[in-house]
Copies of this chain bind each other. A is one copy, B any other.
Amino acid sequence: METNIQNLGECSFVSPLTHSSFEVTFRSDSERVLFDHLRNEGSPATSGAQNNSEIGFELAGPRENLFFDPSKTTAAVVTCGGLCPGLNDIVRGIVTQCHTRYGVTRTFGFRYGYEGMISRYGLTPMTLRPESVSQIHNFGGSILGTSRGQQDIGEMVDLLEEMDVDILFVVGGDGTLRGASALSAECKSRGLRKAVVGIPKTIDNDIMYLDKSFGFETAFAMAVQAVRSAYVEATGAINGIGLLKLMGRDSGFIACYAALAGSNVDFVLIPEVHFELEGSGGLIEALHYRVAKRRSAVVVVSEGAGQHLVPHSSATDASGNKVYGDIGLFLRDKITQSFRQRRIASSVKYIDPSYMIRSVPANAQDNVYCSQLAQHAVHAAMAGKTGMLVGRWHGAFVHLPLDMVTNGRRKVDPQGELWNSVLESTGQPARLY
């Protein structure tokens, strides 16, 4: 696991933060945050364990010397992929930090994701200033707009050259960050001294080596409201079933947390845990049993769960993600049918709140978290870091190589504490097959 961060070159400019009215604690690249902070006193330290414990991530924070000369630097930001609470906070944080702390006064926002970086599409970049972004955190979405999908790396770098952009901040998920990595590589191969810094965005909270992704807390708080609606609908009808589909293509974090917070959920179905519909151990049987006992049930399903059950095409969306079959509608129909077949009066209420969840403004906690991410991204970029992203690990802000992070996804561990808590809280069988 390579955790070292790529640097554009020697840092020969003194940071304007050294002239702050208050004492700034500068960080050096040799400061690391341990990857593993658990120890077992009983077991003898094997050399492997020792090595593992020594792997660490570069600590984020202001550097005393900068690679870029602030007075001559141009920065730009682009937001890609699906909406997520906090995008505007990130944009605002970057612009404010650039202007007020570093004196970088040329900051642009590319429109509608990577599309806005292809000049022949004619999407004029926005000029961003602290005044124009000062209240945008009160609104959901992204003032820049977003889009899915890759664009030609060469054309994008052409535009960066043409506009003289030195630093590009890229906010997006997996695919977007792979694009950022390619942009960084292309700049390098052209001999351009440009920094590409990522800020990982995933409403599913499924990015590796991150305590949590921005917007996740806001999102799951909204999801809890949807759980509440499902519960009210379920208990309001004879043998009522509230069925709720939540985000989570590959990871069921939102479904798990929403179930834990609301505590009125009977079944949680996530991509990480296999289940079957039919058969004596399957979901349908378990659901009938539960409804017979309690007269109602609430089922929460991640969009990526049970994909082997759903007929699906081989298509991919603009981001290159496989288009999933709709497990929510599928379950709705199957459950309805099963009650009908057994001639049991029932009523299935299906809720798909995804757009209402991802479009809300960030809550207070995410307001703060997003500003901190943005601040650290700017610190890193000014020091000439590139091909990397900022994250938080065990409570500390760190720098991570882009490639390390996009190589896998964080998942709910079916043997871990979180899933145990969910099983406990729902009382659902550990095996639904």
Q: Which residues of A contact B (CB under 8 A)?
A: 20-25, 28, 30-34, 37-43, 54, 56, 59, 61, 83, 100-101, 112, 115, 123, 134, 137-142, 145-147, 211, 217, 220-221, 224-226, 228-230, 232-233, 235-238, 240, 257-258, 260-263, 349-353, 355-356, 359-360, 363-365, 367-368, 371-372, 375, 394-396, 415-417, 419-421, 423-425, 427, 429-431
Contacts and interface: CB of A to CB of B under 8 A. Distances in A.
Contact of A396 (B37, B224, B351, B396): B37
B25 A417 contact: yes
A142 B349 CA distance: 15
Contact of A235 (B33, B115, B141): B141
B228 A359 contact: yes
A80 B71 CA distance: 45
How many copies altogether? 4
B232 A359 contact: yes
Given A28-B42, A221-B365, 13 more contacts: A21-B430, A21-B431, A33-B38, A137-B263, A145-B237, A145-B240, A147-B238, A217-B364, A221-B364, A229-B356, A261-B367, A262-B364, A352-B352
Contact of A359 (B233, B352, B356, B423): B233
A349 B353 contact: no
A33 B38 CA distance: 5
B32 A38 contact: yes
A363 B364 CA distance: 11
B83 A233 contact: yes
Contact of A364 (B261, B352, B367, B417): B261
A365 B365 contact: yes
10 contacts: A23-B415, A25-B415, A31-B39, A31-B40, A32-B41, A33-B39, A138-B138, A145-B240, A147-B238, A261-B368
Contacts of A217: 364-365
